[in-house]
């Protein structure tokens, strides 16, 4: 049986490189490929530590997801800002629930657009430091808010910083560590988001019995804990050498490589890594031309952008929209306010437990396999939740069953869909368009979030559509659409270097063949541009 091999279409002369540079790049690639997880952890603790540290910025984004939505089920917040009902029955209308939730999303879209420019222009460190200062100032607005419009304005301002952190942390984490560690540090980005959800769930539960405005002011004030230590850490952090190479700062890139490297490595090893980054960037530049947003929608880059858009959007369409409104959803299902907050903490802990489980799964299974299994598990839970919502006059046992299913659904999400999203969206774009492609995907995520934040409160609100648990049917349908797309369009990138992934896309390799195709990204040494067709590859296609 023949084996399909894809190669670069360019010779060394066409890439404006000497043969020595390509040989050093090839040696660096081989050394990276031979690393085991244990060796990488022992050899590159500094690179891994910096990656994990900068990812903590996503804690603030996850924190707000629960805080603002949980306030809608908090009686103190409703008494202060409620615009429907009178006295003890005052509530936040579905219109304003959507407005407040969407305010931060609008801010995030603005932050994503700003980050697409600043990260390429100024680098990761300076961008992150600026927006950490921005965040510290923006928190004052919701903390001192006296009306719903003022709260919405504060959410927009804070959302600008959160939007920046959403893409910056993922890109940085994927670029500073060896290939074998990449899925773990990018999945950790999702765990940081889950940590923020866990912290905010505990805070919201802790202030549940405070009978004053501090019941909602204190959760906002706690957000000031993060920016200062993060700013100090980022100030001393090394810049991503990939970012510096793309900006033409090769001397600075070499310094960052040394800082991220190991004492066991020689200067030749550092030079080899730089050569690999330069070679991969040159190939991408030759293939893609410019690095504008428009390039993301041309040729094979459109396929990469499509993957980012769908994978990001599936984070909501898979059924996570219900989990984002878990307190309101549980109250609509029959739980008391305190019980809903208690279960919400259990749901939040699942984000951490599931994230750890995903690490073990990624060592053995492909990204696409885990992602689709997570979607399938959530799909089953959503159908059952929707079915339970159809029961008239539900008993306490039905409410408990819905709560248990939501916990199981969250575990399915965090063992598969949530954390595996991050290595997929970090690995599939080309290096020169990575920031912009992730930004486009994340903007699509936020647009879907706006739509979800508009209709989900209406699904759950007793004063609007009043679907209750039957909302599970709606998101089971959107989940099924995502699962179907993944089966036909999601490629497997496990154990692939950035250079290999580039060539697989440039040679139009079908998604189902990504796993079995051999890649020679250094064929420019021999001016070899031959693509051999592999026969009968479908016989080995598996659930990936």
Q: d(Cα 115, Cα 109) in Å, to the nearest integer?
A: 10
Encoded tokens for 192: 């940081």
pLDDT tens, N- to C-terminus, the chain (544 residues)? 345 555 555 444 444 456 677 777 777 778 877 888 888 888 888 888 998 898 888 887 778 766 777 777 677 787 787 777 666 677 777 778 778 878 888 888 898 888 878 888 888 899 999 999 999 999 999 889 888 889 889 989 988 998 888 788 878 888 888 888 888 888 888 788 878 878 887 887 787 778 788 888 888 888 898 888 999 999 999 998 888 888 888 889 889 988 888 888 888 888 888 888 887 777 767 665 556 778 888 888 899 999 999 999 999 899 887 766 666 667 666 666 667 777 777 777 777 787 788 888 887 888 899 999 999 999 999 999 888 878 777 666 777 787 778 778 888 888 888 888 888 988 888 877 887 888 899 889 888 988 887 888 778 766 677 787 788 899 999 999 999 999 999 998 887 877 788 888 888 888 888 888 887 766 655 544 333 333 343 444 343 3
In the chain, what are the domain boundaries? 5-526
Q: d(Cα 353, Cα 195) in Å, to the nearest integer?
A: 10
The closest of 349, 119, 133 to 226, measured between CA atoms, is: 133
Q: d(Cα 246, Cα 253) in Å, to the nearest integer?
A: 10
Query: Considering all CA atoms of the chain, what is the largest pairwise distance in Å, rounded to the nearest integer?
Result: 80
Q: Are 120 and 246 in contact (CB under 8 A)?
A: yes
DSSP 85-111: SSGGG-B--HHHHHHHHHHHHHHHHHH
Pick the CATH number of 5-526 from 3.30.750.210, 3.30.930.10, 1.20.1250.20, 3.40.50.300: 1.20.1250.20
Quick one: how many helices (H) and strands (E) in the chain?
A: 25, 2
Q: d(Cα 35, Cα 251) in Å, to the nearest integer?
A: 26
Residues 6 or more apart from 525 whose CB is under 8 A from it? Answer: 12, 19, 22, 23, 26
Give 237's DSSP letter.
S
> 1-38: buried (b, 16+ CB within 10 Å) or exposed (e) per residue?
eeebbbbbbbebeebebeeebbebbbbbbeebeebeee
Q: Are 76 and 204 in contact (CB under 8 A)?
A: no
Q: d(Cα 460, Cα 357) in Å, to the nearest integer?
A: 31
Q: Are 387 and 411 in contact (CB under 8 A)?
A: no
Q: How much is the pTM?
A: 0.73
Phi, psi of 371 (to 5 degrees): -60, -45
Q: What share of the chain is helix, strand, coil (3-state, %, to 5)?
A: 75, 0, 20
Q: d(Cα 248, Cα 474) in Å, to the nearest integer?
A: 49
Encoded tokens for 537: 């590859």
List, in sequence order, the alpha helices (H) in 413-460: 418-427, 434-460
Q: Are 263 and 280 in contact (CB under 8 A)?
A: no
- Tracing tokens 């996503």 back to the chain, one arrives at 58
């Amino acid at each position: 049986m023949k084996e399909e091999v894809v190669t670069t279409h360019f010779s060394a002369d066409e890439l404006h490189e000497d043969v020595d540079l390509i040989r050093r790049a090839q040696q660096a690639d081989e050394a990276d490929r031979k690393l085991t997880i244990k060796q990488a952890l022992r050899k590159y603790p500094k690179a891994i530590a910096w990656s994990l540290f900068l990812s903590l910025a996503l804690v603030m984004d996850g924190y707000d997801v629960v805080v603002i939505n949980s306030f809608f089920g908090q009686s103190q917040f409703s008494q202060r800002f409620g615009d429907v009902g009178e006295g003890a029955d005052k509530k936040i209308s579905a219109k304003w629930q959507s407005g407040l939730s969407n305010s931060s999303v609008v801010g995030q879209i603005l932050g994503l657009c700003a980050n697409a420019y600043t990260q390429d222009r100024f680098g990761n460190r300076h961008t992150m430091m600026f927006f950490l200062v921005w965040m510290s100032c923006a928190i004052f607005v919701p903390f001192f808010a006296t009306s719903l419009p003022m709260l919405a304005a504060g959410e927009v301002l804070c959302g600008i910083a959160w939007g920046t952190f959403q893409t910056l942390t993922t890109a940085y984490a994927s670029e500073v560590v060896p290939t074998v560690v990449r899925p773990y540090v990018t999945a950790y980005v999702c765990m940081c988001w889950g940590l923020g959800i866990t912290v905010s769930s505990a805070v919201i539960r802790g202030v549940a019995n405070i009978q004053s405005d501090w019941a909602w002011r204190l959760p906002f004030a706690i957000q000031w804990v993060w920016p200062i230590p993060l700013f100090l850490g980022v100030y001393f952090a090394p810049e991503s050498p990939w970012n510096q190479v793309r900006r033409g700062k090769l001397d600075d890139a070499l310094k960052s490589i040394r800082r991220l490297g190991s004492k066991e490595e020689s200067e030749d090893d550092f030079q080899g890594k730089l050569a690999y980054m330069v070679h991969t960037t040159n190939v991408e530049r030759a293939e893609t031309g410019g690095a504008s947003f428009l390039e993301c929608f041309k040729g094979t880059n459109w396929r990469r952008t499509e993957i980012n858009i769908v994978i990001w959007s599936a984070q909501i369409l898979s059924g996570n929209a219900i989990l984002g409104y878990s307190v309101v959803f549980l109250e609509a299902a029959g739980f008391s306010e305190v019980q809903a907050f208690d279960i919400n903490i259990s749901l939040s802990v699942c984000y951490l437990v599931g994230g750890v489980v995903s690490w073990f799964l990624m060592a053995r299974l492909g990204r696409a396999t885990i992602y689709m299994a997570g979607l399938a598990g959530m799909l089953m839970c959503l159908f059952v939740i929707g079915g339970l919502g159809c029961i008239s006059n539900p008993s306490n046992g039905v409410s408990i069953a819905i709560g248990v299913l939501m916990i199981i659904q969250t575990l399915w999400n965090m063992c598969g869909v949530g954390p595996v999203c991050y290595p997929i969206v970090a690995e599939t774009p080309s290096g020169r368009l990575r920031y912009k492609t992730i930004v486009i995907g994340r903007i699509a995520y936020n647009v879907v979030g706006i739509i979800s934040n508009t209709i989900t409160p209406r699904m759950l609100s007793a004063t609007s559509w009043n679907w209750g648990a039957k909302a599970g049917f709606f998101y089971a349908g959107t989940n099924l659409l995502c699962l179907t797309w993944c089966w036909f369009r999601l490629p497997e990138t496990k154990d692939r270097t950035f250079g290999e992934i580039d060539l697989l896309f440039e040679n139009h390799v079908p998604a189902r063949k990504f796993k079995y195709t051999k890649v020679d990204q250094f064929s420019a040494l021999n001016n070899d541009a031959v693509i051999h067709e592999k026969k009968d590859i479908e016989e080995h296609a598996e659930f990936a």
